[in-house]
A and B are shown apart, each in its own frame.
Chain A
């Protein structure tokens, strides 16, 4: 642990193989993130974790930590960029928070509050996206998908199934499921899958458990995501290195 870099003035130690994000979270420093999940290899698509490293911007979740880096994260310029990225994600999909089962537990919504996103910012696209209710136990509401890839990785790497994938490109990129009919009912997904737990927004939902926990008492109702994310981060004692 002789290696350190500087993050907003604080010295942050890192283990070999860790990325800037992993080291920061482990050491108790929050950098906003959406597509990064401590249990999976970072892939760097949402770009909310963008920081300035020696003056140049880079995604902190994928950038390998190096001794002596000078990193800025909690500065106005970067928080403004993050606000705009959150606005883009809201504008890209259809997010009607008051009627969403995920409200209060949703990472996108929590990031919006924490980063103080007060306005729409961009023209909302109101895309025509399907809801797949074919499965007896599971609902898939693609209106809310932010294309973070976590369900894809969880299903293939943990569940050993490949239930999810992506098709299309650019603004038409979209989540698909692994069946000839294109329906979730015809895949081998199960309620106990890891893929059921990782969606940061309200796309993959178990049926018939709607609003069992009242709004107001949910995860990010109690603590802002900046505090919650640190609680979730692996501590040095529990083994900090991921690769």
Chain B
């Protein structure tokens, strides 16, 4: 036992050693301990506090913020089913039930023998090959009843995951239509050499001239951002690549990082040259943990070719390197200032702005945060020249856009189009028929109904970060909205009152309607709630959290009204629901164990 304790201590010290006992690396340290041990016990938290010289409350606070970190034992095998609406449409709930049943387990609970826990998690970015799950953080795709049974069997036999068939972990790229980014055969260093020839100022000018706008959602002109960062005072500057890709239904960054990693890093290095940065970070969402080693290999190859490190390509003073930080299950960390907090090892809470990251970012130093695809596009713009880049797409939306298509269509996957493609064209290309609606740009985006399928993707009309979820006429759009609302409630960081409380209230209202207890009054309340969230929330999450309900109400009001009671008001308290615990304890679920609230 003593030897055991010594080994455990040595493991811990190794992790701390590798991270220089730097409290700024707290999240990475916790993630590594979680991966090693399955959870982070109280004594470890106390030890970390003493070693890192920070209060243990801070460590507990960080561990308690991220979904993939646990402060209590969570089973040797931690199974998380992806719960995007597209996973639901492919039957993830039934699969979860089967697995729970076979392992004698309730969702969210750990089995009595400590073997396994099963729960749901937010979209894991595998919508084109769902239903998907994570087992101990490893992505598994294309679940079927048979695959779930095989996995159950492996878990029951305590088979180490290293011995599981590689087929479980196979992730397809599913590129269905490629364009200048996905077809690009950029040789590592090619765009960088052009950059070195023209110099930092000219890179900024070229990117400005290309008309490139951010691909992460907000569409800010990239050249202007780089210029502001270049002009910001300070000698130490940072480049951050946002690979958090948390918006449900989006998975194009996953494919770019798999296929065009060099192009991503090339764009980051160009940015470093343009703004004068020495340090780069790729913030990779925890769900894409499996990409860590391949990406590190690419980085090493680039270091070996002098495309990273000291005096890049022989240019004295051009020193720049890139580190990868992993997230741990928190959508809010895609918001750039929350991402920076997370990079600093903190809870991912969006900062107050102004000041903005371009002047006060990582470590309060000037920082350019851009999306994965933005960096690829910037590399492309430098490689082909601003004019050629501008010639692709439309007037206000230059370049091409990767669209992540999922849902009801025979060919889900990645489609690269010049901006300006219509919703209908995408639907035709992916083979969708009888389409009722498309959710463009994820839950925080726009629900587009059939009469609007002529609308075009681009900043002029339908701005999009890339998600394109297709719903055919067999789908209940109320359930779509309810899934999105649950997502926002789960992912609210809890910092500000309107979003923390409001998203939770909205979720309850949607559940109340789903249970047949909703009234017209509830629908009116949603509009009031939306006003509070839109006008007072601290960040974009809260401000857009009511969109799914408002949009689906606008287009598909009967989907709600069919569920309403005729009464105008019904109390939120559900008498029959209150008996649920008693039913569970007595194992009863027969008619006599329910109050007939319809007739009461």
Spell out A's residues near B (CB within 8 Å): 43-48, 50, 57, 59, 62, 64, 81, 84-85, 88-89, 91-92, 122-123, 125, 147, 156, 162-173, 176-180
Q: Which residues of A contact B531 (CB under 8 A)?
A: 81
B542-568, CB < 8 A from A: none
- B495 and A45 contact, CB distance less than 8 A: yes
Q: How near does chain A come to B541, taking the closest CB pair, in angstroms?
A: 10
Contact of B505 among A45, A64, A123 (CB under 8 A): A123
- A170 and B493 contact, CB distance less than 8 A: yes
Q: Which residues of A contact B347 (CB under 8 A)?
A: 166, 169
- A123 and B57 contact, CB distance less than 8 A: no
Q: Which of A50, A164, A169, A180 has the most CB of B within 10 A?
A: A169
- Report how far A45 CA is from B531 CA in the complex, Å: 18
- B61 and A165 contact, CB distance less than 8 A: yes
Contact of A178 among B57, B504, B505 (CB under 8 A): B57
B145-178, CB < 8 A from A: none
**Does B46 reach chain A (CB closer than 8 Å)?**
yes
Q: List 29 A-B contacts (CB under 8 A).
A: A44-B496, A44-B538, A45-B497, A47-B497, A47-B537, A48-B497, A62-B352, A81-B536, A85-B497, A85-B532, A89-B497, A122-B501, A147-B500, A165-B55, A166-B61, A166-B347, A167-B63, A167-B65, A169-B492, A170-B493, A170-B500, A170-B503, A171-B492, A172-B494, A176-B60, A176-B61, A177-B57, A178-B55, A178-B57
**Does B431 reach chain A (CB closer than 8 Å)?**
no
- B536 and A167 contact, CB distance less than 8 A: no
- Report how far A165 CA is from B45 CA in the complex, Å: 14
Q: Which residues of A contact B65 (CB under 8 A)?
A: 167-169
**Does B491 reach chain A (CB closer than 8 Å)?**
yes
- Report how far A165 CA is from B508 CA in the complex, Å: 28
Q: How near does chain B come to A150, taking the closest CB pair, in angstroms?
A: 14
**Does B490 reach chain A (CB closer than 8 Å)?**
yes
| Closest B residue to A170 using CB positions | B492
Q: How near does chain B come to A183, taking the closest CB pair, in angstroms?
A: 12
| Closest A residue to B537 using CB positions | A47
Q: Which residues of B contact A169 (CB under 8 A)?
A: 64-65, 330, 332, 347, 492-494
- B494 and A167 contact, CB distance less than 8 A: no
Q: Which residues of A contact B573 (CB under 8 A)?
A: 123
Q: Which residues of B contact A47 (CB under 8 A)?
A: 496-498, 536-538
- Report how far A130 CA is from B63 CA in the complex, Å: 20
Q: Which residues of B contact A43 (CB under 8 A)?
A: 352
| Closest A residue to B529 using CB positions | A84
* A-B complex: 9 closest residue pairs judged by Cβ atoms: A167-B64, A165-B57, A173-B494, A162-B55, A123-B572, A178-B57, A88-B501, A170-B492, A171-B504
Give per-residue flags for B305-322: 1 if the beta carbon is below 8 A from chain A beta carbons, else 0. 000000000000000000
| Closest B residue to A125 using CB positions | B504
- A176 and B57 contact, CB distance less than 8 A: yes
- Report how far A123 CA is from B572 CA in the complex, Å: 6
- Report how far A57 CA is from B492 CA in the complex, Å: 20
- Report how far A194 CA is from B535 CA in the complex, Å: 34
- B504 and A85 contact, CB distance less than 8 A: no
Interface residue tally on B, bucketed by range: 35 or more
| Closest A residue to B63 using CB positions | A167
| Closest A residue to B45 using CB positions | A180
Q: A123-B572, A173-B495, A178-B56 are in contact. List 10 more A-B contacts (CB 8 A).
A: A47-B497, A47-B537, A165-B60, A169-B347, A169-B493, A170-B492, A170-B494, A171-B492, A176-B64, A178-B55
Q: Which residues of A contact B538 (CB under 8 A)?
A: 44-45, 47, 59
- B535 and A180 contact, CB distance less than 8 A: no
Q: How near does chain A come to B290, taking the closest CB pair, in angstroms?
A: 25
- Interface of chain B: mostly helix, strand, loop or mixed: helix
Q: How near does chain B come to A216, taking the closest CB pair, in angstroms?
A: 30
Q: Which of B43, B60, B63, B498 has the most CB of A within 10 A?
A: B60
Q: Which residues of B contact A64 (CB under 8 A)?
A: 354
- B492 and A164 contact, CB distance less than 8 A: no
Q: Which residues of B contact A62 (CB under 8 A)?
A: 352
| Closest B residue to A171 using CB positions | B504
- B501 and A167 contact, CB distance less than 8 A: no
| Closest A residue to B502 using CB positions | A88
Q: Which residues of B contact A171 (CB under 8 A)?
A: 489, 492, 494, 500-501, 503-504
Q: Which residues of B contact A81 (CB under 8 A)?
A: 531-532, 535-536
Q: Which residues of A contact B505 (CB under 8 A)?
A: 88, 91, 122-123
Contact of B497 among A88, A123, A163 (CB under 8 A): A88
Q: Which residues of B contact A84 (CB under 8 A)?
A: 528, 532
**Does B234 reach chain A (CB closer than 8 Å)?**
no
**Does B193 reach chain A (CB closer than 8 Å)?**
no
Q: Which residues of B contact A125 (CB under 8 A)?
A: 504
**Does B70 reach chain A (CB closer than 8 Å)?**
no
**Does B455 reach chain A (CB closer than 8 Å)?**
no
Q: Which residues of B contact A162 (CB under 8 A)?
A: 55, 57-58
Q: How near does chain A come to B299, taking the closest CB pair, in angstroms?
A: 31
Give per-residue flags for B470-498: 1 if the beta carbon is below 8 A from chain A beta carbons, else 0. 00000000000000000001111111111
- Report how far A105 CA is from B252 CA in the complex, Å: 54
Q: Which residues of A contact B63 (CB under 8 A)?
A: 167
- A180 and B56 contact, CB distance less than 8 A: yes
- Report how far A62 CA is from B337 CA in the complex, Å: 16
- B489 and A85 contact, CB distance less than 8 A: no
- B494 and A92 contact, CB distance less than 8 A: no
- Report how far A61 CA is from B497 CA in the complex, Å: 15
Q: Which residues of B contact A177 (CB under 8 A)?
A: 57
Given A88-B502, A169-B64, A45 and B496 touching (CB < 8 A)?
yes
**Does B294 reach chain A (CB closer than 8 Å)?**
no
**Does B179 reach chain A (CB closer than 8 Å)?**
no
**Does B42 reach chain A (CB closer than 8 Å)?**
yes
Q: Which of A81, A123, A164, A171 has the most CB of B within 10 A?
A: A171
- B494 and A147 contact, CB distance less than 8 A: yes
Q: How near does chain A come to B484, taking the closest CB pair, in angstroms?
A: 15
Q: How near does chain B come to A49, taking the closest CB pair, in angstroms?
A: 10
B504-530, CB < 8 A from A: 504-505, 508, 528
- B532 and A91 contact, CB distance less than 8 A: no
Q: Which residues of B contact A122 (CB under 8 A)?
A: 501, 505
Q: How near does chain A come to B39, taking the closest CB pair, in angstroms?
A: 15
- Report how far A171 CA is from B545 CA in the complex, Å: 14
B391-412, CB < 8 A from A: none
| Closest A residue to B494 using CB positions | A173
- B494 and A168 contact, CB distance less than 8 A: yes
Q: Which residues of A contact B352 (CB under 8 A)?
A: 43-44, 59, 62
| Closest B residue to A152 using CB positions | B57
| Closest B residue to A47 using CB positions | B536
| Closest A residue to B490 using CB positions | A170
B40-72, CB < 8 A from A: 42-43, 45-46, 55-58, 60-61, 63-65
B3-59, CB < 8 A from A: 42-43, 45-46, 55-58
- B535 and A46 contact, CB distance less than 8 A: no
- A170 and B491 contact, CB distance less than 8 A: yes
Contact of A123 among B330, B489, B508 (CB under 8 A): B508
- Report how far A177 CA is from B56 CA in the complex, Å: 9
- Report how far A38 CA is from B295 CA in the complex, Å: 48
Q: Which residues of A contact B502 (CB under 8 A)?
A: 88
- Report how far A183 CA is from B63 CA in the complex, Å: 18
Q: Which residues of B contact A168 (CB under 8 A)?
A: 64-65, 494
Q: Which residues of A contact B495 (CB under 8 A)?
A: 45, 173
Q: Which residues of B contact A48 (CB under 8 A)?
A: 497
Q: How near does chain A come to B479, taking the closest CB pair, in angstroms?
A: 22
